[in-house]
Every structure is written in C-alpha cells, then in structure tokens.
Chain A
Amino acid sequence: MSDSPSPIDPSALNHTPLDGWHRALGARMVPFAGYAMPVQYDLTGALAERCKGGVMAEHLHCRSAAALFDVSHMGQAILSGPNVAAALERLVPGDIIGLKPGRQRYTLLTNEAGGILDDLMVANLGDDRLFLVVNASRKEVDFRHIAASLADGLQLELQDDRALLALQGPRAATVLARLAPSTASLGFMGVAPVTIAGIDCLVSRSGYTGEDGFEISLPATGATALAEALLAQPDVVPAGLGARDSLRLEAGLCLYGNDIDEVTTPVEAGLTWVIGKRRKMAWDFPGGIAIRDHLDNGPPRIRVGIRPDGRAPARAHTEITAEDGTEAGEITSGGFAPSLNAPIAMGYVRRDLALDGTRLNLIVRGRQLPATVVPLPFVPHRYAR
C-alpha cells in the first residue's frame, strides 16, 4: 500500500485549543494549513455506538443527525471604526453597507486582476464592528491585505485567542436549543451573542456542509467545556476534515486553493451572486473591470458539477477532454459522495461545454472515463428557512 502517513513533528505545527481533546477521542491527526488537525476519528465506547467513526460514517452522521467540527484553525478578526462597512467594500464586491446588524454574508476578497484572494464570512455585530472569518491557509495574506487598506480610525483586531466550532446537521438546532434556547429563533445567516454552558459565545447560523447548523466562536479557554457539553448530547459525534471535505463537495461549495484562487474570477467560479446589486453599478472593488468583462462577454471557463459514469473517483488535477478529444478543462475537487454512493467532482470547463448534460471524458490513470456535467449542488441544501 502506498498510503502510510508520515509522523507529525509536533514542534513544527500549530495546535487548536481542542488538540488534546481530539487525541483523547482517537482522532487521526494530519497537518493542514500549518495545524495538526483531526482528519477522522477512531471512536470507542459509547461514542462508537453512535457512529463507528471514519470519514464515511462521520459524513453520513452529519446528514442524519449532528456532527461537531473543530475549525479553530480558521482566522477570526474584528474590523471596527467609523464607516467600517464602506471601508470593507473597498476590498470586496459584496453589499456590506446594506448588511444589517445581526446578519452575516458570504463574500470574496478580490485582487486587481479580478481574481479571488479568499472567500470569507462577514457578520455585522453592530456599533461599527464587523466579524470576519477567513480560511486558515489564507489568514496571514488576508489580514495583511486588509490591514494595509485601512484608513485612520479603522482597526483590525486579530482574535488568535478564540476557538471556532461548527455544529452541523438536521439535529443541530434541537441540540443547541437544549443548551441555549435563544438559538431556536436565530434565522439562517443570523448572528448573535449567546451564552452556552456558561460560556459567552458568538453564534451564527451557517456552515460549510449544506445542512442547517451553527458556527460558534468563543474564547479558546472555553473550547473543551463547550465541545464536551455538545458531545454529551446523544445526537452528536465529532467529525474531522475528511468528512468536512466530502460534505462541502456534495454541497457544491468551493474550497479555496482548489476551486477558487487568485487567477479565477467570481464569474468563472459561478459566484456572481456575491456581487451586490448596487456594486454592479459602480464596479468599485478590486478587479471590477475584469469581472465586469467576464459578466458582459461570458467567462472563458465555468465551474461545473461532474458525475463520472462508473464507480472510479476522479480527483483534483484530473484532465478533462471533450467528446471530440479537444481539451476541455480540469477537475479542481473530486472524490466519493457517501450520501450518493457515487463519485462526484467539480471542475472548470470551456464555456461551450458547461451546459448540464454535456458529455466529457476524464483522463484517469491513462484511460478515458466518460462523465456528464450535472447541476450543483449534488445534494440539496437544507438550510433553515
């Protein structure tokens, strides 16, 4: 077998506040974005009766009940000051000025070429304070970029001393309401301060799985207590990065570095909806001209969902050809969908090949595997509405 994991040098990696907790639960740790992170768990005892652990089982448990993810490696920060929303609008195409207090929005940091520096969540906490959550692999780049853009009076405060937990699944709301009844009235993409198990948290109703769920920001010192309180609920199992990736892929959600990057425009990525209506009149954000050009003239390539015909998964960097043998594009994320019991992939294809139903060939281990362009998401979203 070619798959022996190499041992992690503990001194070379960062650790989240739940590092010891993961290991005690039987987590298999891997390096990710400079952190030791659980990829999956070998559960034992009472927890193993809820779920046997492993990527497949954790994934399926999320879609049938509730899964708890540690995403403390991600970057959290507070951007504050007079007219802070207008200040952020100088860096993103979204409507931030119109984002009401207690509401959150998905947006993109763009560059002058119209490419994507990162995707992130922005929440309006009121009092001219915005709460930002960015990808772990990009947090240094993002925060440097944002800090460099700030006029006097504006402040970016990094929150290295906070943890971030995600509770996702159809039972997540019931579980959290037992511990914090006020969360029952938190709508999709709402944000509110909530005390859970005696800890002051900031809770948003959102996630990266396509399921209903919450992302909970809290002081690092409270992370273990909160994780224990959530795990004490019989519906909940811990889930690692393996399941996090298969869930988001089924949900058709982009992974920065795979599906979106500095040389991909929001139009190519199918993220045009991120551009606010008012912003489409002024185009006053980095890369506005290039992005407008893609919108007006059509982008050269488009992100699509792809379903291989057979059982063989086709993974990132797999070459795609058209039926006539010409170059069509490349897979950017691919794997196996536990909820569909079939392989799925996302990738970019020439605009003329992006229609649903288009037949393609995937070059896997030197062979042509037929596949079809299909709509995203692969598994319907079940957000709280």
Chain B
Amino acid sequence: MPKKNTDKRFTKDHEWVMLDGDIATVGITDHAQEQLGELVFIELPELQREVVANEACAVVESVKAASDVYAPLAGKVAEINDTITEDPSIVNNDAEGEGWFFRLELDDPDSFEELMDQDAYDEFLETL
C-alpha cells in the first residue's frame, strides 16, 4: 500500500531522503552544503538509470574540489531537478528543500525505514 512518510531520513554520506509511495526524493543535507562551500557545478544522473544503494550517481563541485553524491537506496532515476544544474546556489540556500537532486523509484520502499532518522543523523554529526 503506498504511504506518504513525511519523515526525513539520512545517510552517513550526508544525503537526505523523503518517501512518497515508492518514490524517494534525494538531496544533500545542510551540513553537506556548508562543508562544501559555494557550489559551482552539479551533474545529475540520467533519467531511467538504475542504481544500487551507495552507488555514486551525482557530482557536486565547489571552487576547490569535486564530490560524489550517492544513491541512498536501490532504484531507478525517475526525475531530476534541473533547476540546480542551472543554478547550483539553490542547493547552498535550501539544501533540504528546493535543492533536491533527483527522485528514485525504489526497488524496495520498505528499505527506507532502515535509514537514520533526524535524531540519529544529528547525533552522528556530533561525532564528526
């Protein structure tokens, strides 16, 4: 049964995920954008690309360096957010809202529950 889970979940690689039915929206966390600094270039995965959990599928670049963004869960790329490739600063300004990267049609929506919740992610940040 499709359900909308308004919880945000997180990965240790600083991606956030929100689930609506079996579609997961993915972005990078505010912590990540702050660590990266002003983003100058973003490359998103191709539509219909199949990814496995922890597979690098997007790239973000700051002045100084490039970083990979990983798929949090296995699935197929259903949608990408072109606004952030046009204007990477959207990610710096609103990483966990307008700055979403892509949407995945999940192979296994239940696997979403296995990801860290906000409290666990906040605790994880303390350890860094």
Contact = CB atoms under 8 A, between A and B. Distances in A.
Interface in A39-72: 39-40, 54-57, 59
Among all A-B residue pairs, the 5 with the closest Cβ atoms: A3-B67, A2-B68, A56-B38, A336-B40, A55-B63
A209 B27 CA distance: 36
Interface stretch (A189-197, A293-301, A307-315): A307-315
A3 B62 CA distance: 11
Interface in B15-33: 15, 28, 32
7 contacts: A1-B35, A2-B70, A39-B64, A55-B38, A55-B64, A335-B63, A338-B63
Contacts, number: 66
Contacts of A335: 63-64
A343 B69 contact: no
A311 B13 contact: no
A56 B67 contact: no
A311 B41 contact: yes
B63 A246 contact: yes
Interface residues of B, number: 26
B33 to A, nearest CB: 9
Interface residues of A, number: 23
A365 B56 CA distance: 12
Interface of A: 1-4, 39-40, 54-57, 59, 242, 245-246, 311-313, 315, 335-336, 338, 343, 365
A2 B63 contact: no
A1 B61 CA distance: 11
A232 B56 CA distance: 45
A283 B16 CA distance: 63
Contact of A40 (B13, B37, B59): B37
Contacts of A336: 40-41, 61-63
Given A242-B64, A336-B40, A365-B59, 19 more contacts: A1-B15, A1-B35, A1-B36, A1-B68, A2-B13, A3-B36, A3-B65, A4-B35, A39-B64, A55-B38, A56-B38, A245-B64, A246-B64, A311-B41, A313-B41, A313-B61, A336-B41, A343-B41, A365-B43
A267 B106 CA distance: 56
Contacts of B64: 39, 55, 242, 245-246, 335
Dominant SS among interface residues on chain B:
strand
B120 interface: no
Contacts of B15: 1
Nearest to B64: A242
Contact of B63 (A4, A242, A312, A365): A242
B13 A54 contact: no
Contacts of B66: 313, 315
Contacts of A4: 35, 128
Contacts of A311: 40-41
Nearest to B65: A3
B14 interface: yes
Contacts of B63: 55-56, 59, 242, 246, 335-336, 338
Nearest to A310: B41
